[in-house]
Amino acid sequence: MGRPKQFDPDEAAQEAMEAFWERGYAATSVNDLLDEMGLNKGSLYGTFGDKKQLFLAALEKYSDQRTCAAADILEQKIPARKVLEALLDCIARDCTGENAHRGCLAAKAAMELAPHDKDVAAWLKKYHRRNVQMVARVIERGQKEGDVSRKLDATAAARFFLNNFAGMRLLGTTNPSISELKEVAELVLKVLD
């Protein structure tokens, strides 16, 4: 009978997520991860498998946190257009905060790994599809409420919003002012007219 694990795998995945988010996949060595998580190789490999499996667990942690934060905004019982404004405002504030320089972990994974890693590419596709569906539901609600143009295809508009969210997070790495990001957000919202 093996000894019980002396660490919290969820907390370890959080620490790995932070390390990957800060440095990227290739620039984060297994030794960096062991130091960040306070683990030995046996615990890392026994719990997560290899570095890539740990990265996928970190991406899931990132997805859970981002989806939960977005859902808190998207499920508000206010007019749909105001919901989308609130989401853009939240992203603008995130892109000027102390961690704005990190950008988006999912975008980093897309650029660094997705072109040659089918598992990361599949994760990104699932992540993007879920986010598109969440935003599209709000756009559809806005169309029913009359504050979003009914001429829009809700799914295409949701993809447009998500592409702009990613662009705002990229802009956040350049230390923009909140007014610069709010100007972008105002233009994004015009698509709803």
How many Å apart are CA 40 and CA 47, to the nearest integer?
11
Output phi, psi for 107, to 5 deg: -65, -40
Q: What average pLDDT values come out for the chain (193 residues) when binned by 10 residues?
A: 62 91 92 86 85 94 90 93 95 86 90 94 95 96 96 97 93 92 94 94
Cβ within 8 Å of residue 111, ≥6 positions away: none
Query: Smallest Cα–Cα separation from 106: which of 83, 84, 126?
Result: 126
Task: Report the length, in residues, of the chain.
Answer: 193
**SS3 state at 8:** coil
pLDDT of residue 3: 46
> Looking at this protein, which amino acid is placed at residue 121?
A
CA atoms 22, 23, 24, 25: torsion sign = negative
Q: Which domains does the chain have, with CATH numbers?
A: 7-58 (1.10.10.60), 76-192 (1.10.357.10)
Query: Is pTM, for the whole model, over 0.75?
Result: yes
Residue 171: count other Cβ atoms within 10 Å of its Cβ.
18
pLDDT of residue 42: 84
